[in-house]
Amino acid sequence: MVQDWQAKADAKRQAILDSIPEKWRLSSVPSAQDQKDVTGPYIQQFLDPKEIEITETDAVGIAKQTASGAWSAVAVAEAFCHRASLAHQLVNCLHETFFDAALADAKALDAYLAEHKRPKGPLHGVPVSLKDQFHVKNVDTSMGYVGWIDTFEGKPDDPRKGKYESEMVRELRNLGAILYCKTSVPHTLMSGETVNNIIGYTWNPKNRNLTCGGSSGGEGALIGLKGSPVGFGTDIGGSIRIPAAFNGLYGIRPSSGRLPYEGMANSMDGQNSILSVVGPLGSTAGAVRLAVRSILSQSPHLYDPMVVDMPWRDAEEQAVFDMAKAVSGKGPLAFGVMKGDGVVNPDPPVLRAIDLVAAAVQKAGHKVIEWKPPSHEKMLKWIFKTWTYDGGKDVHDAFGLSGETVAAQVAMSYGREAREQFKASDIAATNVEQRQSKKEYLDYWNSTAELTGTGRSVDGLIAPLAPYPAARPEGYKYYGFSAWVNGLDLTAAVVPVTLADKSIDKYPEGYEPVSEHDKVVFEDYDAEIYDGAHVSVQIVGRRFTEEKMLAIAEYVGGLLA
Amino acid sequence: MVQDWQAKADAKRQAILDSIPEKWRLSSVPSAQDQKDVTGPYIQQFLDPKEIEITETDAVGIAKQTASGAWSAVAVAEAFCHRASLAHQLVNCLHETFFDAALADAKALDAYLAEHKRPKGPLHGVPVSLKDQFHVKNVDTSMGYVGWIDTFEGKPDDPRKGKYESEMVRELRNLGAILYCKTSVPHTLMSGETVNNIIGYTWNPKNRNLTCGGSSGGEGALIGLKGSPVGFGTDIGGSIRIPAAFNGLYGIRPSSGRLPYEGMANSMDGQNSILSVVGPLGSTAGAVRLAVRSILSQSPHLYDPMVVDMPWRDAEEQAVFDMAKAVSGKGPLAFGVMKGDGVVNPDPPVLRAIDLVAAAVQKAGHKVIEWKPPSHEKMLKWIFKTWTYDGGKDVHDAFGLSGETVAAQVAMSYGREAREQFKASDIAATNVEQRQSKKEYLDYWNSTAELTGTGRSVDGLIAPLAPYPAARPEGYKYYGFSAWVNGLDLTAAVVPVTLADKSIDKYPEGYEPVSEHDKVVFEDYDAEIYDGAHVSVQIVGRRFTEEKMLAIAEYVGGLLA
């Protein structure tokens, strides 16, 4: 018997498909077996040359064309609406489309430019995709929960339903961005894979046997297919970085309080030991930089009380470029390199990516030291506690609205029903552990000044952000490589490095796993399956070093090109 | 029968007195009835003219003299050790003295200056007093708990006992400050009066029938008697501002994350909805500014993971002075004025102080608008919840170490034994309420741009920080005027305004209290008792506006002089 929630989920899934204009619908979608990789030539076949040119230009390039009027905002919006429609049909990456509103906005932007002879803002005519936690007027926010369909965060009669907009949406509109779709997430947001009862599973466009990552998985898949030049995700344990990495993109996990989260839907809202943060993913470092810099130009601290009054700091960025080029006695840069965390060693392609980056920066004259930090295992214990302070009450309440089933990937952390909650003194003790870990790590970071040979401590840490190139369905099981950055509230940027190569990416003969977690990662590895998948690293910096990490990401990316 | 804890407390009290050199001991201390006010001429009689000159110079002036070598650091240290010793005997304001260490440090500073021909740092030779939450080597930190005597935060065998120093202590030593004493606090720190079983009650030096305030009450009393030119307290609900106000001092409650709290003892450590912050109190605005600016010069964010990378911003300060003088088309400033919070109306002297400040800024050409904020009553509900998340477990555990009795002022909030704790989802809900309140308040603040006539929103809010000029023992009962600033994490500076005057400070005929709380405040008022007490206001600014609030405090203080 079909459950009520299934019917509701099916109807919503169909409604998403139906929202795609007839002219952009695919008559059939090949299986993953028949067409593993749907990026590049595969998706291009459905687009005309101008659409390909537009959608394969990065956000910085698009902004240049639309600001000058060389490209109309309407043409750009249409091209991305088209390509996003194709992307969704190929990998299930959208929760919402609002193309008519986008085209109307684009038209208004073209009129604005014609009238004022200047763009509306630094994102004039740039399409920006949004993870389905942003509230946009006239559009649902389901966050993957069947019980949230046609409600405001689960409340069917809330007056904000269909009317309310998140603070960053307001800022993006001010900046001239074109909003046109919202992207898929795992229900609860607490998974490195993107799966829910509405859209099913979002596949990795580069290899449709693998996950696109999560929880900002729809963003990763969509931008990976160039159905968006830049988009915003969120990250409480890796949710921006994992999909950025799995789709060959740049992305940044800013420190908490840099970019405005105000008015977004969330899970476990009010848990404040580790805050989810919002940040962009894009096809180039420049796109990510443009997004961050543009938002900061809006003085978000005046509209989001959690944002710190810290404008974009050009000097922080310039310092990196000066050090990179050893300008006026500055430089070189100093990097730490971390290959494992004492609990897990990453799969061979990830280790190779780390080696590639380390070799590239060394070759360019920079310093590299081995990272020997305080125990990550000890940190991870309190970090994972914060995810279940409420025993899963919040997420199970949301599931309970419809009675829908819990995805295995989520049940892994939250079970199938709520458990006992932490009490105040347990939470306080966890917060003290957190602060102590932060202090230990800070002291360790400072101590590297003795080792780098630059007279300064490490500028950026080259590290894995996941054990896998891109996990297999139900295969994302270890969050230790990403979550420690959230636990310490550091800034981290993802840099795409290479593709997995089955001919070289092999575990050494007789590899002995270092822990139970490592055994699982080791045994799950299959060079054949991962062949051709994107492989990336993260560059981790101190807290509030967004300018610096983006500059390093851009520079390092350039060295690898 | 004398309890074990009483004997221990008595011994500690005696040890504090015994630590005062014989030559500085008073043969007798008059009663409050015989000598209400022990400031000014009263305490001066025990000092020689040079000591008076030194101790009545503010921290900025002292730094100038010691940096040039006009005054030796030893002479300055001795003068303040002497005056602090007198202060303690008159009002019970010290928990620890370490004069020998201070004189040794002063000697080393004099040698440093002689050798290097420059001061060690901007606080070279400036005595700085510390609330008894700071850990200083070779010195106890009891925080007023009998069970903490001769332990490290209640742990008798902790290896840090006697060795560990708080981060800010390290920075103060770097800056050239002379550390010489730690000041009294109410046990638990959670009171607007300073009382504990060790030192008893710290009296207001201006009126020894009244409280010196709390919880940084020892700081207030000591600096009020000019036994210290500047000192550091902490503030989670008013604990810097209340003693600053009650002793006619300047003080600042910075936003959380501006100054380093790392390594300090605290109550309810790990409660992170509202964080206690550290900040200075001083006899002038300049002294407070010097302390904040000096600490920020030490890059505290590299040593305290909770501190934001935000150096002292001269431009923020200069903007105020430019607006104050209407320089180059800037200005005037715009002030909000809040006389009550909808729950309580302050006593007549406090209302008069607010009127005096509002009149002074208006007379100087600045704008003033009435402050009509979102409901403070609603905010205060979740604010006070955060104080008892753990049902008092932390503080009652600390009392339990010795079995000591709980002061009535503390039992008011925490009872005499621990109660039920909040659970995770209750805390999360409180945190959501907090964020929503912050957003509402921010929106209100922004909306004042429509009303000020300056084109900008209000620069600073003139408001009461307590209902009383200085409360009577067991009379500090309403925290609403100070705690909302902590709840919203705003920056607030205290400005001394006037003295209570029984001839004019009267409630209007037939005054009708607006609430139960107001009734208590109204009925407790006695113009006779408060006569001559200090009366102050706070100037509240947006989050992270320390430079701006200090500049305004200095400017406004100048207008009143």
Interchain pair B424, A428: CB under 8 A: no
Enclosing H/E stretch for A241: helix A241-246
> Residue A226 pLDDT more than 80?
yes
Say if CB B193 and CB B213 are below 8 A apart: yes
Q: What is the pLDDT of residue A328?
A: 72
Report the C-alpha gap between A440 and B556 in whole angstroms: 43
- Residue A22 makes CB contacts below 8 A (sequence gap 6+) with none
Say if CB B518 and CB B459 are below 8 A apart: no
Interchain pair B543, A441: CB under 8 A: no
Span B331-338, average pLDDT? 95
Could you list the residues of B known to form a binding site for substrate, using ranges: 189, 215, 236-239
Q: Tell me if residue A50 is catalytic.
A: no
> Residue B23 pLDDT more than 70?
yes
How close, in Å, is residue A489 to chain B by CA atoms?
Answer: 9
Report the C-alpha gap between B175 and B294 in whole angstroms: 7
B424 → closest Cβ in A309, A427, A431:
A427
CA distances to A31, A341, A378, A506, B405 from B394, rounded to whole Å, are: 60, 35, 24, 53, 15
Query: pLDDT per residue over B263-279, tens digit each?
Result: 999 999 999 999 999 99
- Domains of chain B (ranges plus CATH)? 5-22+36-560 (3.90.1300.10)
Query: pLDDT per residue over B525-555, tens digit each?
Result: 999 999 999 999 999 999 999 999 999 999 9
A390 → closest Cβ in B262, B302, B424:
B424
Q: What is the pLDDT of residue B193?
A: 98
Most A CBs within 10 A among B302, B427, B448, B545, hence the mutation to make, goes to: B427
Interchain pair B301, A543: CB under 8 A: yes
Report the C-alpha gap between A432 and A160 in whole angstroms: 37
Most A CBs within 10 A among B425, B431, B486, hence the mutation to make, goes to: B425
Query: pLDDT per residue over A278-331, tens digit each?
Result: 999 999 999 999 999 999 999 999 999 999 999 999 999 999 999 998 877 788
Q: Tell me if residue B239 is catalytic.
A: yes
HSE-CB at B188 with a 13 A cutoff on CA atoms is 29
Span A345-362, average pLDDT? 98
Residue A516: count other Cβ atoms within 10 Å of its Cβ. Answer: 9
pLDDT band at A77 (very low <50, low <70, confident <90, very high): very high
**Which one of A216, A239, A276, A457 is the catalytic residue?**
A239
pLDDT band at B89 (very low <50, low <70, confident <90, very high): very high
Q: Three-class SS of residue B392? A: coil
Residue A511: count other Cβ atoms within 10 Å of its Cβ. Answer: 13
Q: How many interchain CB pairs under 8 A, A with B?
A: 128
pLDDT band at B3 (very low <50, low <70, confident <90, very high): confident
- Residue A483 makes CB contacts below 8 A (sequence gap 6+) with A237, A238, A380, A383, A384
Span A366-392, average pLDDT? 98
- Residue A509 makes CB contacts below 8 A (sequence gap 6+) with none
The pairs formed by A137-140 with CB atoms below 8 angstroms and a separation of 24 or more are: A137/A162, A137/A163, A137/A164, A137/A165, A138/A98, A138/A101, A138/A162, A139/A96, A139/A98, A139/A182, A140/A95, A140/A96
Say if CB B371 and CB B338 are below 8 A apart: yes
pTM higher than 0.90 for the full model? Answer: yes
Radius of gyration of chain A (CA): 22
Q: Considering only CB atoms, which chain A residues are within 8 Å of B440?
A: none
Query: pLDDT per residue over B489-510, tens digit each?
Result: 999 999 999 999 999 999 999 9
pLDDT band at B341 (very low <50, low <70, confident <90, very high): very high
**Which one of B8, B120, B131, B548 is the catalytic residue?**
B131
Q: What is the pLDDT of residue B116?
A: 98
Span A232-259, average pLDDT? 98
CA distances to A18, A547, B540 from B304, rounded to whole Å, are: 53, 21, 25
Nearest CA in chain B to A389: B424
> Residue B1 pLDDT more than 60?
no
Burial status of residue B234 (CB atoms within 10 A of its CB: 0-12, 13-18, 19 or more): buried
Give the residue carrying structure tokens 């050009």. Answer: A314
Q: What is the pLDDT of residue A330?
A: 81
Q: Which of B25, B12, B44 is nearest to B198 (CA)?
A: B12
Percent of chain B with pLDDT over 70: 100
Report the C-alpha gap between B545 and A1 in whole angstroms: 62
Q: What is the pLDDT of residue B330?
A: 81
HSE-CB at B417 with a 13 A cutoff on CA atoms is 0
How close, in Å, is residue B503 to chain A by CA atoms?
Answer: 44
Query: pLDDT per residue over A97-122, tens digit each?
Result: 999 999 999 999 999 999 999 999 99
Q: Which of B276, B229, B220, B274 is nearest to B248 (CA)?
A: B220
Interchain pair B488, A270: CB under 8 A: no
pLDDT band at A480 (very low <50, low <70, confident <90, very high): very high
Nearest CA in chain B to A418: B425
Span A156-175, average pLDDT? 98
Alpha helices in A185-224 (DSSP H): 217-224
How close, in Å, is residue B419 to chain A by CA atoms?
Answer: 12
> Residue B24 pLDDT more than 90?
yes
Say if CB A389 and CB B424 are below 8 A apart: yes
Interchain pair B305, A544: CB under 8 A: no
Give A301's DSSP letter: G
Q: Is A331 annotated as a binding residue?
A: no
Q: Considering only CB atoms, which chain B residues are within 8 Å of A391?
A: 424
> Residue B329 pLDDT more than 90?
no
Q: What is the pLDDT of residue A1?
A: 57
Q: Tell me if residue B228 is catalytic.
A: no
Pairing type for strands B195-196 and B200-201 reads antiparallel
Query: pLDDT per residue over A251-282, tens digit each?
Result: 999 999 999 999 999 999 999 999 999 999 99
